Amino acid sequence: RIVNGGEREGAKVCETQFRSNVARRTFARSLSGGAYRTRSDSNEGLVEGLIHYGRIRSNRVAEAMLKVDRKEFTNPLYERGDAYYDHPVQIGQGQTISAPHMHAEALELLSDHLYPAEAM
């Protein structure tokens, strides 16, 4: 994009956008906290890995994730046996289910705002 400063201004905008994208990717990688290494052949093993890497920090979230088997939300045609790996999985029609550590993080953030009668 070139604005009133001519090419020089356009180069500054491009450089700023590039640095912003690099920073965003670096930040996103730091959030994973190693959880992406979590692989298992069971939902229990996946949850244990997320606990080990600090992505699940409360018993309440651990219990919720143990009750809901991730494999039930994956499409066997696309998941290639990696339903219990901590990465997004295709579920069909160009859609993916997010990585389990993202679900864990969302549940951790919500857990203080939900009451026992409410479902997680």
Per the prediction, the chain carries an average pLDDT of 78
Residue linked to tokens 């093993």: 45
| For range 8-12, the mean pLDDT | 53
Pick from 78, 27, 72, 75: which is nearest to 46 by CA?
A: 72
Which CATH number applies to 34-120?
3.40.50.150
The pTM (predicted TM-score) of the whole model is: 0.66
- Over residues 44-59, the pLDDT tens digits come to 999 999 999 999 999 9
For the ranges 4-13, 79-88, 106-115, the lowest mean pLDDT is seen at: 4-13
SS3 assignment, position 80: coil
- Over residues 78-105, the pLDDT tens digits come to 767 788 999 998 888 888 999 999 999 9
> So where are the chain's domains?
1-32, 34-120
Question: What is the set of active-site residues?
Answer: 98
